[in-house]
Amino acid sequence: MALREVLKFPDKRLKEVSTPIVEITDEIRAMAQDMLDVMYDEPGIGLAAPQIGEAVRLIVVDTEWTEEGAERNPWVLINPEIVERNGKLVWTEGCLSVPDIEAEVERSESVVLRATNLEGDAVEIEASQLQAVCFQHEIDHLDGVLFIDRISRLKRNLYVQRRKKQLRRELEEA
């Protein structure tokens, strides 16, 4: 089975606000498994449904997994929301949907996240450091926000220009 493609900036679907999931269906379970497969294959530590073209509030995160063969301990979170934020930190972020750039982003140092798991149970997670950053990054995707929307206008504009040139070159070569 072919893995779903990760949408890349400037795909307009990445800017859409996702709709809440009302019912956990077999389709939602299959989408979550697809997302895990894509996340581990890329490899990444988080993925939001909009990144595979699905405008629903579903994220997968595994900040403990580091490499092929390492133990996997993913969170599959439906309708996640941050209900508490504490502190500030600056973290260097990258994104599977925003290739060829990493940038420092200011985030909350710790968060409390509420969501529903695939079994339909309510979960509450207290996260800090990398896990807190990852949750904030993925929830941003659900709201149509990319991490480059949180960096300086100058850095973002430079990236956008470079990305447009890259895409033009790829089109010319095709």
Among 68, 109, 126, 138, the one annotated catalytic = 138
Coil, strand or helix at 128: strand
Q: From CA 113, how far away is CA 137, in angstroms rounded?
A: 13
Identify whether 71 is a catalytic site residue.
no
Backbone angle region of 54, left / alpha / beta, with phi > 0 → left and psi within -120 to 50 → alpha: beta
Q: From CA 162, how far away is CA 170, in angstroms rounded?
A: 12
Eight-state DSSP code of residue 19 = B
Report yes or no: 77 and 123 within 8 Å, Cβ to Cβ.
Answer: yes
Q: From CA 94, how far away is CA 35, in angstroms rounded?
A: 18
The set of catalytic residues is 138
